[in-house]
Chains A and B, each alone.
Chain A
Amino acid sequence: MTCLVDGLFPDVGKATVRLLRRLGHDVEVPLRQTCCGQMHVNTGYPREALPLVRNHVETFLDYDAIVVPSGSCTGSIRHQHADVARQFGDDTLVQGAQIVAKHTYELSEFLVDVLGVTDVGAYYPHRVTYHPTCHSLRLLRVGDRPLRLLREVRGLDLVELPDAESCCGFGGTFALKNPDVSTAMLADKMSNVLATRAEVCSAGDSSCLMHIGGGLSRLHTGVRTVHLAEILAADGRAS
């Protein structure tokens, strides 16, 4: 469970748990986990990230499959953790990080590749457009997996997002360090979302959705942001 989901978007975590249980799986949430350390690494603080990487690796070392409802956290676990450990010469941690990385899946990867399902039995009667987040797209190469999942959702009207592969401008602390450029990028993303006439903009990362949603809310557009997990977990019954 990502730190952002834990503290700000618990519904995404609940939806992920519900979805996996509905598909017949036993879900564990080890409470020792805190944060993958991506923000620290990407802001230039690998030294500070090291204890977070260690805590993460030690928490998840013995699990067969670790499912993350975030492309960028999965990307950090897969592509940065071992590297951070290597920078500080911790060989045991490097090995542990490599094992955990191998067992870690972004949600759509896990559903499509490991469980082999695209129809997860969801019902979501709304007009939806999907923003493929940068790290899902270019770091993990999840490709059209999220779209294949969404196409099987009953009642869902999926509308293609123009210029979908452009970054929304979040970029972690980039949004704070370069607020003007970040907002300029967000403006173009929002105008593309609005052009679809969708009620809901979805994505696989709560962080990007917090950014896009923060802009859509500020402008009172009436468009909501909803994480992929929440759509896939929806089945028409009250949660």
Chain B
Amino acid sequence: MTAPRGVGHLRGDQPFPVAAKAAVADAQLRRNLGNATATIRAKRAAVVGELPDWQQLRAAGAAIKDAVLANLDNYLIQLEERVTARGGTVHWARDANDANRIVTGLVRAAGATEVVKVKSMATQEIGLNEALADAGITAWETDLAELIVQLGHDQPSHILVPAIHRNRAEIREIFLREMGGVDPALTDNPAALAEAARTYLRRKFLTADVAVSGANFAVAETGTLAVVESEGNGRMCLTLPRTLITVMGIEKLVPTWRDLEVFLQLLPRSSTGERMNPYTSMWTGATEGQAFHLVLLDNGRTATLADPRGRDALRCIRCSACLNVCPVYERTGGHAYGSVYPGPIGAVLSPQLTGVADNASLPFASSLCGACLDACPVAIDIPSMLVHLRAQAVDSKRHRVPSPEQAAMAAAAWTMAEPARWTRALRAARLSKWIRRRRALPPPLSAWIRARDLPEPPPQTFRDWWTDGGGR
């Protein structure tokens, strides 16, 4: 069962090429993204390069995740048992609607009208903030970048750095406009901006009764959950409110405590380019004075698991290394992908969660350059998976009248399957008027000549040269 329509943020309003056209034309966005991704790429390369066993760590990370996915049912039940034994309550959410209903119900039961949130991709995926707002509950994002996105009435554009599309000057303007009571002398110095956010958020931490978090990892053998972050705001959320609700995708498991050793090396180096992240919070069940609820989210993950050629996408630990090295992401940013999961991993994950027909343009949003595979800390073969999903996207339309593309592909294959046909076709193409003219061409070649010349057709094909004696 795939993620339902009409809720959450896994589908865009426009196909990728249309959304990308606007993004590519945005000079400020291009500059912000170019600078930010280049900085993170360099940091990552430095800290990955200093580990002699990086390739072994990647292999271990992939193997652990594969073992989890192969036995996901057992590990999930084990996790539920451990969390329950330690005083937590586990809820199973089949999809976004289920999860939103469960969380809204829990917040209401706690008698709260406000919640603080630690950055969570899963709750962005299901559109929890909107669902809470519909129920009269206000959600405050406390991760600095998420706060910038929320105050800017915006959507995240990166998994790890949701406000990567904003620069300091833009952030200052958002704070001045939206926070209220900010000294107009606020500068765009990062420390000054962080201080403004700290002052603003402190009040929320001290008054909120309920916190909603995501989780980076859950350890099946102990029932322990882990959140990895940079600012410490997450830890405030996890510890101060009387009720903690964690929403987690079912693929976030690792079997044993020891497995964290691998991922706590892979994740910070791949994501922020740090040897270790500043804050790692772990908790097991409910702690004294706090109620704990764990919502396990499917929302298309079981459907993804069912495809042997696509399921490796569930290894993803949301580090964003593939976004930062992707030449397409670097030029379009995350919004063009229409899903909270942008970039290469988004292009393989979003279509699988929703069913490929609802995100049919995403598998094509890549030049298949392979940089994502090299950067991935759990060795997800994203290029091969994109090719597989492209075939699914094509097949999903095969029952209709053949599109011009399908007809062209079939004609090309027919011609090329037979050497004599191919030889004749090459000669004919060389002499044809529209190839020789090279100025006004029909689609799709019109897209080529908008910015690129076509080569001059040669006087003779290679095979004719060879038949003529091959230079002897």
Contacts and interface: CB of A to CB of B under 8 A. Distances in A.
Contact of A178 (B16, B390, B409): B16
B341 to A, nearest CB: 18
A198 B423 CA distance: 37
A181 B369 CA distance: 14
B458 interface: yes
A169 B365 contact: no
A134 B465 contact: no
Given A44-B390, A181-B332, A31 B467 contact: yes
B352 to A, nearest CB: 15
Contacts of A213: 453, 455
B391 interface: yes
Given A167-B327, A176-B444, A184-B24, A9 B471 contact: no
Given A177-B17, A218-B453, A6 B463 contact: yes
A52 B445 CA distance: 23
Given A134-B367, A138-B371, A175-B447, A218 B452 contact: yes
A156 B200 CA distance: 62
Contact of A45 (B25, B30, B413, B419): B413
Contacts of B30: 184
Contacts of B16: 178
Interface in A120-178: 134-135, 137-139, 165-167, 169-178
B51 interface: no
A180 B368 contact: no
B466 to A, nearest CB: 5
B417 interface: yes
Given A134-B367, A185-B367, A214 B394 contact: no
Q: Indicate the member of A42, A44, A166 with the most B CB atoms within 10 Å.
A: A44
Nearest to A3: B416
Chain A residues touching B, range: 35 or more
B328 interface: yes
Given A31-B467, A171-B369, A176-B445, A183 B451 contact: yes
Interface in A1-23: 1, 3, 5-11, 13-14, 17-18
A186 B471 contact: no
Q: Indicate the member of A165, A181, A217 with the most B CB atoms within 10 Å.
A: A181
B24 A211 contact: no
A58 B460 CA distance: 26
B281 interface: no
A61 interface: no
A212 B464 CA distance: 27
Nearest to A49: B413
Contacts of A55: 416-419
Contacts of A29: 462-463, 466, 470
B422 interface: yes
Interface in B383-431: 387, 390-395, 405-406, 409-410, 412-413, 416-419, 422-423, 426, 429-430
B450 interface: yes
A214 B454 CA distance: 6
Nearest to A183: B451
Contacts of A218: 451-453
A214 B453 CA distance: 4
Q: Indicate the member of A7, A39, A40 with the most B CB atoms within 10 Å.
A: A7
B171 interface: no
B461 interface: yes
Contacts of B430: 7
Contacts of B364: 44, 173-174, 177-178
Contact of A174 (B367, B374, B453): B367
Contacts of B76: none
A48 interface: yes
A204 interface: no
B368 A42 contact: yes
Interface in A53-93: 55, 80
A34 interface: yes
Interface of A: 1, 3, 5-11, 13-14, 17-18, 29, 31-35, 37, 39-46, 48-49, 51-52, 55, 80, 134-135, 137-139, 165-167, 169-186, 210-211, 213-215, 217-218
**Considering the complex of A and B, which 10 residue pairs feature the smallest CB-CB distances, nearest first?**
A171-B367, A214-B452, A44-B390, A138-B370, A44-B394, A167-B369, A48-B413, A10-B462, A13-B462, A51-B417
Given A55-B419, A177-B444, 18 more contacts: A6-B461, A37-B416, A42-B387, A44-B363, A44-B390, A46-B391, A48-B410, A52-B417, A165-B371, A167-B371, A171-B366, A174-B367, A175-B448, A177-B447, A180-B21, A213-B453, A213-B455, A215-B452
27 contacts: A5-B462, A10-B462, A29-B466, A31-B423, A34-B416, A35-B416, A40-B409, A42-B387, A43-B405, A44-B363, A44-B364, A48-B410, A52-B413, A52-B416, A138-B373, A169-B327, A172-B367, A172-B368, A175-B452, A176-B447, A178-B16, A178-B364, A180-B17, A181-B17, A183-B452, A185-B327, A211-B452
